[in-house]
Chains A and B, each alone.
Chain A
Amino acid sequence: MTEPSAPQVHGVRRRVARFFARHPRAALGAQLSAPGGWLLIIYIGSLAALILTSLFRLVDDPTGLVTKLDTSIGFGNFDRVISQPVYRAVALRTLGAAATVTVIDAVIALPLAFYMGKVASQRARRMLVVAVTLPLWAGYLVKGYAWRALLDPGGGAFQEVFGHSLGFGYASSIVVLAYLWFPFMVIPLYAGFDRLPDSLLEASTDLGAKAGRTFVSVVVPQIVPSLVAGSIFTFSLTLGDFYMNRIVGGTTEFIGNIVYRQFSVDLPFAAAYAVIPIVIMVGLLLAVRRTGALDEL
C-alpha cells in the first residue's frame, strides 16, 4: 500500500476532503452534478424538445410542392391522435400486446425463478443463471428471424412437425416478444427470490402452511417489487417495439410502426403519437414507485 508521496498533492487533497466533510451538501452536489447534468441536459432536454415539437405542425407550402414546419403552438396533432379511430385502435392493440406479454412472462418466470432462487442446488443455480442470461447475446433480430422460420405457414417447423402454425400475425408477435423479453423478467425475479430469507419460509411451514399457501401468502408479497421491475421491462420493451411486427406480425402494426413511418414524413405528428407511450410509462412508474420496484430494474 503506497500512498502518494508528494506532500503538496496530499495537502490539497486533504483540504478538499475536509471541505466536503464539513459541507455535505457540496459533496452531494459534486456527486450529483455529473449524472444529473447528463440526464437533465441530454435526455430530459431531448424529451422536452420532442414534446415541444409535437405542438408544431406541417403545412403545405404555397407552391404546393413541399410541406413546411409551422412552429406556432397548437394541439392539432393530438386532436388527430384522439379523433381518428385508427390511432386509438393501434394504441390499444399495442397496450394489449404489452400487457399480454407481461402476463405470459410473469406466469412462466415465477415458478422458474422460484426454483432457481430457492430450490435448486448452489451449483445448478449458477448454471441456470448463465442459462437464462445467455440467450440475450444471440441477437434480437437473429432470434426474430429464427422464429419467423419456425412459424412460417408455408412449411415452417411448426407446420411440418405439428401440422399447425400460428402463422404471421398479432398472436405471433405476442408470442415472439414474450420469448425475447423473458430473461428481463426472470433476472429480477431470481434476484428477489435469492434475497428472500429461508427463515421466512421455514416459519411459514412451521406455522402449518402448505407449500402452495406459503407461496401465495408469504413469497409473492415479498417479491412484488421484483415482479414489478421485470414487468416494467417487458411492458416497455413491447410498447416500443416495431421490428417484430415486420418479421412475424403479418400485417399487424403497433405504435412504433406508425411513429417510425411518420418520423421521416411528419415529425410533429410522430412526436405527438410518441407522447402516448411516454404518458403511459411515466404514469406506470409513478404508480409503482411506492413498491420499491424502481430499485430493482
Chain B
Amino acid sequence: MKRIVKLIAVFATLVVVLIACGSSSSSSPKSSGTSSGSGSGKLSILAWPGYAENGSTSKDTDWVTPFEKQSGCNTTVKTFGTSDEAFQLFNTGQYDVVSASGDSSLRSVANGDAAVIDTAKVTTYADLADFLKAKAWNSVDGKIYGVPHGWGANLLMYNETAVTPAPTSWGAVFEANSPYKGKVTAYDSPIYIADAALYLSKTKADLGITNPYSLDEEQFSAAVELLKQQKPNIGEYWSDYLKEQEGFTKGSLVLGTTWQVITNGVKADTASPPVNAIIPSEGSTAWSDSWMVSTKSKNVDCAYKWINWITSPSVQAQVAEYFGEAPANLKACTETSDKDFCTTYHAEDKAFYDQLAFWTTPTAKCLDGRSDVTCKAYKDWTAAWDEIKGS
C-alpha cells in the first residue's frame, strides 16, 4: 500500500509541475489575452486561420498582441475552416468581428447579424482599393457592411511536366475522359459549383448564365451534372491549402484549382516538379474577404480599433505575406518584405481583377436581376454538394 501511495504522489507531483509550467506561460499576456494594455475593453475575433495570429502557432507570427498593447482591448481569436462555419458561429452573437468571405457575408447581413459600418470611423478606408469597396458581397442597397481585408483569385494550376499541352481553359478539369484521372483536384466547398457555372457561361451560351452565383433550376442542374462528371477524376478535394501544396509537390495531383500562395509554396520547394498557375480563358472565380461587425457586439469600440489596425499598411503587409493574398490597403505594397509581393499577387492590377467573379452568397432572389425565376439558394447548393461528393 505504501508503494501505491508513493506512486500516486509521484504522479500527482508530475501533474502539478505540468500545470505550473503551463500556467506560468498562460500568465503571459500574449497567450491568455487577459492582461496588458491599459483599457478594460474586450474583443472577440472570428477569423480565417492566418488572419488574426496571436503567436499561439509561432512566436514570430503575432499581430494581435501588439494590437492589445496599443488598444487596450483584450482579444480572443477563434478560427474557422469554412464559410459555413463562419456564418453559423457569427450567428451565435459571441463574436464582435468576423473576416467574412463573400459566400457568407450576405447571409450574415440578411440574417441581421452584421451591422452597418460607419466608414467615418474607419481611418484607413480611403486607402483601401476602390475596386473592393461597396461591392455586392460587402454592401446591400448602398449600405456598407464590410471593410475589405484582402483577396485572391482561384487560379488553374498544372504540373508542367505531366500536363501537356498546357491548358488554357477550365475545360481541362471538367473533361469527361481526363488523361489525368485521379490526379485532378478541386476546392472542397459548395461554392465551387460557381466554377462549373462560370465555365458553362462561356461554353454553353444557351444556358444564359450571366452570373455564376445566380443560377436558376436548369442552369444549376447543368453545373451540378458537370461536377458529377468531374468527380471520378478527382484524387482529392482540398480545403486546407497545405494538402494541395503537398499533392503537387509529390506529384499525386497535377491539375486543379489553386490559390497564388499554394503555387508559391510548390515553386519554393526545390523537390517539386515545375508548375504554373493561370487565369484560363473563361476567367476565374475569386474570393474577397471583408471585416464585419456584429449587431450584437457590446465592444463596438474595440471592433473598430481592430478594423483600423488590421487594415493599416504595416499589418496588412504582414497578414498578406503570411497568408498569401493581395492586401486591400495598397499602401501595404511598400511595406512588404518581398518588394515584388504586390506584383505577384496582382494587388493593383485592375485588368486582372476585372477577369474575376468574386464569391457571393447565392440567394433565392436572383442576384443578376431576374425576377421571373427563383434562383437556387445556398442551402440548395449545399444539398447539391452532398450529392456531388457523396455519390
Which residues from chain A sit less than 8 Å from chain B, CB to CB? 58, 60-61, 63-67, 84, 86-87, 89-90, 152-156, 167-168, 246, 250-251, 253, 257-258, 261-266, 269
- Is B143 an interface residue, CB under 8 A from the partner? no
Q: How far is the CB of A186 from chain B (nearest CB, A)?
A: 24
Whether A64 contacts B250 by the Cβ 8 Å rule is no
- Assess A66 versus B363: contact at CB under 8 Å? Given A251-B389, A266-B379: yes
Contacts of A266 in B (CB 8 A): 379, 382-383
Contacts of B383 in A (CB 8 A): 266, 269
Contacts of B31 in A (CB 8 A): none
- Assess A64 versus B84: contact at CB under 8 Å? Given A89-B390, A251-B236: no
- Assess A253 versus B390: contact at CB under 8 Å? Given A66-B111, A66-B363: yes
Contacts of B377 in A (CB 8 A): 60, 64, 67
- Is B237 an interface residue, CB under 8 A from the partner? yes
Q: How far is the CB of A289 from chain B (nearest CB, A)?
A: 33
Q: Encode B220-261 as 1/0 by CB contact (under 8 A) with A.
A: 000000000001001111010000001100111100000000
Apart from the given pairs A60-B364, A89-B390, 16 other A-B contacts in the complex at a CB distance below 8 Å: A58-B379, A63-B110, A67-B379, A86-B386, A155-B250, A250-B234, A251-B237, A251-B389, A253-B386, A253-B390, A258-B390, A264-B87, A265-B88, A265-B378, A266-B383, A269-B383
**Contact partner, B386, options A58, A64, A87, A251, Cβ 8 Å:** A87
Q: How far is the CB of A184 from chain B (nearest CB, A)?
A: 24
Which residues from chain B sit less than 8 Å from chain A, CB to CB? 82, 84-85, 87-89, 106-107, 109-111, 182, 231, 234-237, 239, 246-247, 250-253, 363-365, 374-375, 377-379, 382-383, 385-387, 389-391
Whether A264 contacts B84 by the Cβ 8 Å rule is yes
Contacts of B246 in A (CB 8 A): 152
Whether A263 contacts B110 by the Cβ 8 Å rule is no
Contacts of A67 in B (CB 8 A): 377-379
Contacts of B375 in A (CB 8 A): 64
Contacts of B363 in A (CB 8 A): 64-66
Whether B386 contacts A261 by the Cβ 8 Å rule is yes
- Assess A263 versus B88: contact at CB under 8 Å? Given A64-B363, A90-B390: yes
Instruction: Report the Cα distance A251→B391, complex, angstroms.
Output: 10
Whether B374 contacts A265 by the Cβ 8 Å rule is no
Whether A155 contacts B379 by the Cβ 8 Å rule is no
Q: How far is the CB of B44 from chain A (nearest CB, A)?
A: 18
Contacts of B82 in A (CB 8 A): 264
Instruction: Report the Cα distance A246→B189, complex, angstroms.
Output: 13
Q: How far is the CB of B199 from chain A (nearest CB, A)?
A: 20
Q: How far is the CB of B218 from chain A (nearest CB, A)?
A: 18
Nearest A residue to B378 via CB reads: A265
**Contact partner, B379, options A168, A253, A258, A265, Cβ 8 Å:** A265
Instruction: Report the Cα distance A246→B386, complex, angstroms.
Output: 15
Whether A265 contacts B382 by the Cβ 8 Å rule is yes
Instruction: Report the Cα distance A266→B235, complex, angstroms.
Output: 28
Q: Is the interface of B mostly helix, strand, loop or mixed?
A: helix
Contacts of B364 in A (CB 8 A): 60-61, 64-65
Q: Which of B106, B234, B364, B385 has the largest number of chain A CB atoms within 10 A?
A: B364
Q: How far is the CB of A66 from chain B (nearest CB, A)?
A: 4
Contacts of A154 in B (CB 8 A): 247, 250-253
Q: Is the interface of A mostly helix, strand, loop or mixed?
A: loop
Query: 30 interchain pairs (CB within 8 A)?
Result: A60-B364, A61-B364, A63-B110, A64-B364, A64-B377, A65-B106, A65-B365, A66-B110, A67-B379, A86-B387, A86-B390, A86-B391, A152-B246, A152-B250, A152-B252, A155-B251, A168-B236, A246-B239, A251-B231, A253-B390, A261-B84, A261-B382, A262-B386, A264-B84, A264-B87, A264-B89, A265-B84, A265-B378, A265-B379, A269-B383
Instruction: Report the Cα distance A40→B183, complex, angstroms.
Output: 50
Q: How far is the CB of B271 from chain A (nearest CB, A)?
A: 9
Instruction: Report the Cα distance A84→B390, complex, angstroms.
Output: 11
Q: How far is the CB of B146 from chain A (nearest CB, A)?
A: 16
Instruction: Report the Cα distance A261→B386, complex, angstroms.
Output: 8
Nearest B residue to A61 via CB reads: B110
Whether B365 contacts A87 by the Cβ 8 Å rule is no
Whether A64 contacts B87 by the Cβ 8 Å rule is no
Q: How far is the CB of B280 from chain A (nearest CB, A)?
A: 23
Instruction: Report the Cα distance A152→B378, complex, angstroms.
Output: 34
Whether A87 contacts B110 by the Cβ 8 Å rule is no
- Assess A261 versus B385: contact at CB under 8 Å? Given A67-B377, A90-B390, A155-B251: yes
Q: How far is the CB of A243 from chain B (nearest CB, A)?
A: 11
Q: How far is the CB of B77 from chain A (nearest CB, A)?
A: 19
Q: How far is the CB of A249 from chain B (nearest CB, A)?
A: 9
Contacts of A64 in B (CB 8 A): 363-365, 374-375, 377
**Contact partner, B252, options A153, A246, A261, A263, Cβ 8 Å:** A153
Nearest A residue to B85 via CB reads: A264
Instruction: Report the Cα distance A174→B364, complex, angstroms.
Output: 40
Q: Which of A154, A155, A246 has the largest number of chain B CB atoms within 10 A?
A: A154
Instruction: Report the Cα distance A257→B239, complex, angstroms.
Output: 13
Contacts of B252 in A (CB 8 A): 152-154, 167
Q: In the A-B complex, list the 4 residue pairs whose CB atoms are closest, starting with the nearest.
A: A64-B365, A154-B250, A154-B252, A264-B88
Contacts of B237 in A (CB 8 A): 251
Instruction: Report the Cα distance A169→B329, complex, angstroms.
Output: 43
Q: Which of A90, A155, A246, A269 has the largest number of chain B CB atoms within 10 A?
A: A246
Q: Which of B106, B107, B374, B386 has the largest number of chain A CB atoms within 10 A?
A: B386
Nearest B residue to A165 via CB reads: B252
Instruction: Report the Cα distance A265→B91, complex, angstroms.
Output: 11
Whether B251 contacts A251 by the Cβ 8 Å rule is no
Whether B386 contacts A258 by the Cβ 8 Å rule is yes
Nearest A residue to B109 via CB reads: A65
Instruction: Report the Cα distance A60→B378, complex, angstroms.
Output: 10
Instruction: Report the Cα distance A221→B85, complex, angstroms.
Output: 48
Q: How far is the CB of A55 from chain B (nearest CB, A)?
A: 17
Q: How far is the CB of A61 from chain B (nearest CB, A)?
A: 7
Contacts of A65 in B (CB 8 A): 106, 109-110, 363-365
Instruction: Report the Cα distance A89→B390, complex, angstroms.
Output: 8
Contacts of A246 in B (CB 8 A): 239
Instruction: Report the Cα distance A73→B375, complex, angstroms.
Output: 26
Contacts of B236 in A (CB 8 A): 168, 250-251
